[in-house]
Amino acid sequence: MLFNYIHWNINPEIFNYHGFAIRYYGLLFVIGLLLSLYVLRWIFNKENIAQKNLDKLAIYSMIGVLAGARLGHCLFYESTYYLSNPLEMFLPIRILNEGDIEFIGYQGLASHGGALGLILALIFYSIKTKQSIIKTADLISIVAPLGGAFIRLGNFMNSEIIGKPTTKPWAIIFERIDNLPRHPAQLYEAFSYFLIFIIMILLYKTKRETLKNGFFFGFTLVLIFSARFLIEFIKERQVAFEENLKLDMGQLLSIPYILIGIGFMIYTIRKIHRTASI
């Protein structure tokens, strides 16, 4: 059966002025961040947490996510190149052979590194504000999937992190890559993260008084990284060395997060049972 596949060939740049470009990825990243902060402000109000703490959390989290995601990509996926060109880890440039400098933006962010950076930011926030790190992790984990969904939409606009070839009727031909119909893996992840966000919001509104002590944090880790682990099976490998691995780097890095998430959930459930038996 022949399908009239969608052909995708959007220019990732919205406009470019003398080398300074505004890209869909960056725009969607900012939209996801602002929407996450809007929902988090509502949550902080319900929890009677001071607005000044949200401002600090937003700044620390932004720095932690960006730094962690950038370093994660450089060290997990392209360590040989970036250890030889360490300046490019931190600056949005590429140093050419002739000594010229090319502005390329921050191309390459790893969600696993971003998650680690966010956890470190939460620790720093807790030290500075004396707020419970577990409580804060629970609250921010509710909105984290929302931000992740918009990042994957940005990947879709960039025609990157593509899926394997398929004959499914919803396949998309990413013309910037090749002429093969492929799984829109970015959209699968984006939809999964939107769904996880809805689940977490509903859970917060109905079960917050019962589920504390890290349950939301653990449950979000399990849902996000389980979705990531499964969707990786239909993605193209991102770097050459993954071809020799049974599981790709994204899957290997997801496993510790899933196990940590399960640990937090078990701890919370046991604590609820102990409290109920008293």
Q: Give CA–CA dist 255/15, Å, rounded.
A: 39
> Can you give the pLDDT at residue 46?
92
Cα atoms in the 13 Å half-sphere on the side-chain side of 258: 14
Q: Are 272 and 208 in contact (CB under 8 A)?
A: no
Whether residue 97 is predicted with pLDDT greater than 80 in this model: the reply is no
Q: Give CA–CA dist 225/251, Å, rounded.
A: 8
Calculate helix-pair angle for 133-157, 111-129, nearest 10 degrees: 150
Q: Give CA–CA dist 43/89, Å, rounded.
A: 35
Summarised one tens digit per residue, pLDDT across range 229-238 is: 999 999 998 7
- Please name the amino acid found at residue 138: D
Summarised one tens digit per residue, pLDDT across range 179-225 is: 999 999 999 999 999 999 999 999 999 988 888 889 999 999 999 99
Give the DSSP H/E element, type plus range, for residue 95.
strand 93-95
> Can you give the pLDDT at residue 29?
87
Q: Give CA–CA dist 86/76, Å, rounded.
A: 14
The residue behind tokens 């140093």 is 95
Residues of the chain with pLDDT > 90, as a percent, come to 47
Q: Give CA–CA dist 165/173, Å, rounded.
A: 9
The residue behind tokens 């859970």 is 203
Give the DSSP H/E element, type plus range, for residue 172.
strand 172-174
> Can you give the pLDDT at residue 102?
63
Residues of the chain with pLDDT > 70, as a percent, come to 88
Summarised one tens digit per residue, pLDDT across range 72-85 is: 777 767 777 777 77
What are the residue ranges of helices labelled H in 20-158? Answer: 24-46, 51-76, 79-84, 87-90, 111-129, 133-157
DSSP string, 20-46: EEEEHHHHHHHHHHHHHHHHHHHHHHH
The residue behind tokens 């492929």 is 182
Q: Give CA–CA dist 37/55, Å, rounded.
A: 9
Alpha-carbon 103 to chain mean position: 24
Binned at pLDDT 50, 70 and 90, residue 278 comes out as: low
Calculate helix-pair angle for 215-231, 185-207, nearest 10 degrees: 160
When the pLDDT of each residue in the chain is averaged and rounded to a whole number, the result is: 86
Whether residue 1 is predicted with pLDDT greater than 60 in this model: the reply is no
- Model confidence, pTM: 0.84
Q: At 93, list the tokens.
A: 């440039």
Q: Give CA–CA dist 65/52, Å, rounded.
A: 20
Weakest mean pLDDT among 2-11, 175-184, 233-242: 233-242
Weakest mean pLDDT among 87-96, 140-149, 236-245, 259-268: 87-96
Strand 172-174 versus strand 6-8 pairing type: parallel
